[in-house]
A = this chain, B = another copy of it.
Amino acid sequence: MADKVTIGDVARYAKVSRQTVSNVLNSPEIVREETRRRVRDAVKALGYRASQAARQMRTGRSRLIAARIEPAQEDGINGSVFDRFLHGLTESAARAGYRVLLYTADDHGAELATFDDLLGAYDPDAFVLTSTDYGDPRTTWLLEQRIPFVTFGRPWGVPPERGYPWVDVDGAAGTAMATRYLLDAGHRRIGFLGWPEGSGVGDDRRAGWARTMAAEGIGAAELAELDYRTSDGVPEGEAAAGALLDAERPVTALVCVSDSLALGALQTRRRICVIGFDDTPVARAVGLTSLSQPLAEAAASCVSLLIGQLDGDGAADRARGAAESPPAHRLLQPSLVRRRSA
């Protein structure tokens, strides 16, 4: 194993000083063309790569982004969504010269402790949070500590002045699209299988269905009939779909808040069109039409929002003690993947 090549080795090889090599790497514009070329050749010839540890010592920047890897959920079907997001995150981060550091935590309290731990030891430059919920203590803590972060998920119920950058997928637009698709196919009794009220994501997805149905002239009373709420899970979906199908005026199609519920609905084996949400592997496997989140794009957006804070004028802003521009955010559109079920 070749001994470590240091910036000094490169400097000697290129017959310049350490600092010039450093400049070629970090601010090439201030180095004369010919010197720059010589240094770059030396870097290539020796296979030099800057030691992240040494750089971090001086600059205080670790080029590390911390992300929590979530435990496999009870139901697990939706787990792969996060998996794909994480993959995209790793790729986008690498392109921007950052790496993803994983951590786990069982609850918000443990997660705050982990933040502190990580910041003390590895000192990541930023965090990416997922599964944000109402009154999330993590965002508050990070804002207080002035640690850069982004969330994948909107700040549900957070007043705008406490805003922070986020990326999310427009769930309402997705369910609206699905509903419109079913309406165009001639359906009118289109039910919605959703979660109990109170989850940001769930309520948002329900809203898209509701407003599309309302625009079609369907009244509130009928909507209430068509709106079924249950906790997530395949058996729950089967039961709920059964209830809606056995009603006096049965549904002919269902928009579901998750693939788990949609899969349950499919398992009733009744003549019914079903559309799920998240386009999980299961959906692909069983031919379930589903709304697909652009996860790679979401991850890329997260990284670019972070980079804006980190490499951009973020430091300057924080020094001035003022965040003048409101935090950036991005709302992405899901797409409908047509399969046998609808």
Contacts and interface: CB of A to CB of B under 8 A. Distances in A.
Interface string A247-284: 00000000000001001000100000000000011101
A310 interface: no
Nearest to A56: B53
A52 B145 contact: no
Nearest to A264: B285
A299 B103 CA distance: 15
A50 interface: yes
A101 interface: yes
A282 B284 contact: no
A134 interface: no
A16 to B, nearest CB: 21
A83 B79 contact: yes
B76 A72 contact: no
A69 interface: yes
Q: Which of A79, A100, A104 has the most CB of B within 10 A?
A: A104
A15 to B, nearest CB: 23
Contacts of A94: 103-104
Interface in A87-103: 87, 90-91, 94, 99-103
A103 B69 CA distance: 14
A91 B79 contact: no
Nearest to A147: B1
B75 A90 contact: no
Contacts of A263: 285-286
B87 A69 contact: yes
B101 A282 contact: no
A145 B69 CA distance: 30
B50 A121 contact: yes
Interface in A103-143: 103-104, 116-118, 120-123
Contacts of A87: 69-72, 104
Interface in A7-56: 47-54, 56
B76 A284 contact: yes
A333 interface: no
A215 interface: no
Interface in A227-255: 234
B120 A49 contact: yes
A304 interface: no
Given A1-B146, A77-B285, A80-B83, 8 more contacts: A47-B116, A50-B120, A52-B123, A75-B281, A76-B284, A94-B103, A101-B102, A267-B286
The 6 A-B pairs at the shortest CB distance, nearest first, are namely: A49-B120, A76-B281, A53-B56, A100-B102, A234-B285, A90-B102
